[in-house]
Amino acid sequence: MIDIAPTLLEVAGLPAPTIVNSVQQAPHEGLSMASTFDDGAAVERHQLQYFEMFGSRALYHQGWTAVTRHAIVPWTNAPQPAFEDDVWELYGPDDWTQARNIAAENPERLRHMQRLFLIEATKYNVVPLDDRRFERFNPDLAGRPQLVHGDTQTLYGGMRRISEGSILSLKNKSHAVTAEVDVPESGARGVIIAQGGSVGGWSLYAKDGKPTYCYNFFGITPFIVNSTSSIPPGRHQVRMEFAYDGGGLAKGGTVSLYIDGQRVGEGHVDHTEPMIFSADETCDVGLDTGSLVSPEYGPTTNAFSGQVHWVQIDLGKDSHDHLITPEDRFHVAMARQ
């Protein structure tokens, strides 16, 4: 995969970018394959490549391959081994199917390959190795840097297909979602904001004019909380507060719905997803473009009937920051300069 970008750039006659949006770019790690397009006998340029996934490692070097499977396979109940207990295998250039393990006959070659792996792993930030499995899906637990920092995030109407890693993680914690919307005279209907899809996620939407919240638990159980009041025509704030039960991961929580600060509904979500909603579902403001979070709306008619101006996501306790308009926040920031 890392050879594709250098190949396309060479064929197009374009240099690799060194600065993008004022950020210095790391050099491409791959090599162009363009030399093989007109010459099938061209010498292979990419002769050294490491591999690592969940602690399993491998190294390719000039046709030789050394591999070790660290992660346990799903069909066994064996405990996860220590890294120093992993057994390495070695396969020669004439055995691309990896059918004959010749590690015992070539100990020096294997040690050379293991040293090369450590060099490459250090060079490309693979070490320290991390063999945690489930925890690595949740950046809060894994301790890795996230794209979004802080306890609040504001999204705006029209923002679509935002990756899960680009949204504040709401898992295993209390949070709130506030939206400022304009409702037409015909009434409110459709999605205000949705994250995830049919195999897990949450959605804040209007059904029959009333704010509604759905938490989709792994596609097994949709927990739906309804409002007792409709959103009037005009500009209003719709808010959902999720008070996490606590006591560990994947617990439930109490959901409260508000219109302009007045509570209009309450319910309970019995279970939540602790790690990740999906590998490819996203977050949308004003509609649900992927597989549907809630069974209460369809795939082609779920767009919000009015206008979603902004949606603010807050972690932890309510600071009432959502009551400050973006314009007022701008004026405060300018006054403090």
- Cβ atoms 5, 28 nearer than 8 A: yes
Enter the tokens of residue 196: 């995830």
Answer yes or no: are the C-beta atoms of 157 and 310 closer than 8 Å. yes
User: Is 30 in the same domain as 168?
Assistant: no
pLDDT at 321: 55
Question: What pLDDT, in 10s, does the model give residues 305-327?
Answer: 999 999 999 998 555 555 566 67
Q: What is the DSSP letter of 289?
A: -
The answer on 27 and 75 residing in a single domain is yes
Report if residue 145 sits inside a domain: no
Classify residue 251: in a domain, yes or no: yes
Phi-psi region of 137 (alpha: psi -120 to 50; beta: other; left: phi over 0): alpha
Instruction: Give exposure, 37-68, as e/b (b: 16+ Cβ within 10 Å).
Output: eeeeeeeeeeeebbebeebebbbbbeebbbbb
The residue-averaged pLDDT of 131-160 equals 86
Q: Report, as an integer, the average pLDDT of 221-232.
A: 97
Asked if 54 contacts 133 with a C-beta cutoff of 8 angstroms, the reply is yes
Asked if the structure places residue 142 within a domain, the reply is: no
**Mean of pLDDT values over 18-23:** 94
Q: Which domain holds residue 83?
A: 4-137
Question: Average pLDDT of the chain?
Answer: 92
| Least reliable range by pLDDT among 18-27, 109-118, 133-142, 302-311 | 133-142
Contact of 150 with 312, CB cutoff 8 Å:
no
Task: Kindly state the tokens that stand for 142.
Answer: 């894994």
Give yes or no: residues 13 and 67 share one domain.
yes
130 and 253 both lie in a single domain = no
pLDDT at 293 over 60: yes
CATH number for the domain spanning 81: value is 3.30.1120.10
Residues with Cβ within 8 Å of residue 163, at least 6 apart in sequence: 282, 283
Of the listed ranges 42-56, 79-93, 310-324, the one predicted with least confidence: 310-324
Better pLDDT: 43 or 60 = 60
Instruction: Indicate the pTM of the whole model.
Output: 0.74
- What are the C-alpha distances in Å from 107 to residues 89, 90, 92, 98, 114? 10, 9, 13, 17, 10
Query: What pLDDT does residue 297 have?
Result: 97
Please check the confidence at residue 4 and state whether its pLDDT lies above 60.
Answer: yes
Q: What is d(CA 277, CA 219) in angstroms, rounded to the nearest whole number?
A: 10
pLDDT in tens, 165-216: 999 999 999 999 999 999 999 999 999 999 999 999 999 999 999 999 999 9
Q: What is the pLDDT of residue 143?
A: 81
205 and 129 both lie in a single domain: no
- Kindly tell me if the per-residue pLDDT of 161 is higher than 80: yes
Q: Model confidence at 329, in pLDDT bands (50, 70, 90)? A: low
> pLDDT by residue (tens digit) across 249-290?
999 999 999 999 999 999 999 999 999 999 899 999 999 999
Which SS3 state, helix, strand or coil, does residue 183 take? strand
Question: Does residue 70 lie within any of the structural domains?
Answer: yes
181 and 311 share one domain: yes
In a domain, 146, yes or no: no
Choice among 78-82, 122-126, 166-170 with the minimum mean pLDDT: 78-82
178/327 same-domain check? yes
- Decide if 304 is inside a domain: yes
Count of domains for the chain: 2
Phi, psi torsion values for 37, nearest 5 degrees: -65, -40
Residues 130 and 38 occupy one common structural domain: yes
In this structure, the answer to whether residues 220 and 277 fall within a common structural domain is: yes
Counting Cα atoms < 13 Å in the Cβ hemisphere of 330 gives 3
Per-residue pLDDT reduced to its tens digit, 103-113: 999 999 999 99
292 with 259, same domain: the answer is yes
Q: Are strands 64-68 and 56-61 parallel, antiparallel or unpaired?
A: antiparallel
